[in-house]
Amino acid sequence: MAKILIADDEPDIIELIKRYALRDGHEVRFVEDGSEAIELCRKEDFDIIVMDVMMPDTDGFTATKKIREMKDIPVLMLSARGSEYDKLFGFESGVDDYVTKPFSPKELMARINVIIKRHAAASKPKNENRLTCAGIVLDTLGHEVTIDGERAELTAKEYSILLYLMQNKGVVLSRDKILNEVWGYDYFGDDRTVDWQIKLLRGKLGIYRDHIHTIRGVGYKFED
């Protein structure tokens, strides 16, 4: 059982998610504004937050940023806006997934359950210690990446993608394989999600960005 916080100003949306979350055996709390979500997270811990973008007082992006300054809680963002710019902005803000309205509640719960599972697994000590390539060092025990000795501020999703790529150095990985490994389920949406995340990850790798090779029409490969 997980503890889920729903932040949305639409009662029907709250009720829909709540009904399916309770059916899966989760505990649910809900608020109707980002500022309320921030205050509740100061007092309580949650396994995941389902956060709407557009709320009357404090929007979802601002609330996510404030909460992440306090606690490491994964966030699934809900929005009626599904443009590439909106999704990119969401991922740049550090959200773990981005779902557009209207949505399938069964799909939403699949995404929620996988994020919860992945985050819990990432919080446990790993048997591996370090993966290195040129000036990139990925420390699985510390769950951090350094570039030429400087810590890289990667989101949880960017870290997971880099880990998967480095663990499979020299292997061509299709977008579907990356989606299934990092997101943990058969992705229902646009597989360009991988391209967006790779673009953001490359930007943070700086001069080492070209270690991630694009294999046209297939996917990506990490090489020395």
**How distant is the alpha carbon of residue 90 from its chain centre?**
10
Q: Is the dihedral of CA 45, 43, 16, 24 positive or negative?
A: positive
- Give the pLDDT of residue 120: 78
Q: How far apart are CA 79 and CA 124, in angstroms?
A: 31
- Give the pLDDT of residue 190: 62
Q: How far apart are CA 192 and CA 176, in angstroms?
A: 10
**How distant is the alpha carbon of residue 61 from its chain centre?**
13
Domains and CATH numbers, the chain: 3-122 (3.40.50.2300), 130-222 (1.10.10.10)
- Give the pLDDT of residue 180: 84
Structure confidence by residue, pLDDT tens digits, 80-107? 876 777 778 878 777 888 898 888 999 9
Cis check for the bond before 11: say yes or no (omega within 30 of 0).
no
- Give the pLDDT of residue 165: 94
Q: How far apart are CA 132 and CA 127, in angstroms?
A: 16
User: Would the pTM of this model clear 0.75, i.e. be above it?
Assistant: no
3-state secondary structure 90-144: HHHCCCCEEEECCCCHHHHHHHHHHHHHHHHHHCCCCCCCEEEECCEEEECCCCE
- Give the pLDDT of residue 142: 85
Q: If the chain, 224 residues long, is cut into consecutive pieces of 10 residues, what is the mean pLDDT of each piece? A: 92 94 93 93 93 88 90 90 76 84 91 86 63 90 90 92 92 89 66 87 94 92 90
- Give the pLDDT of residue 185: 59
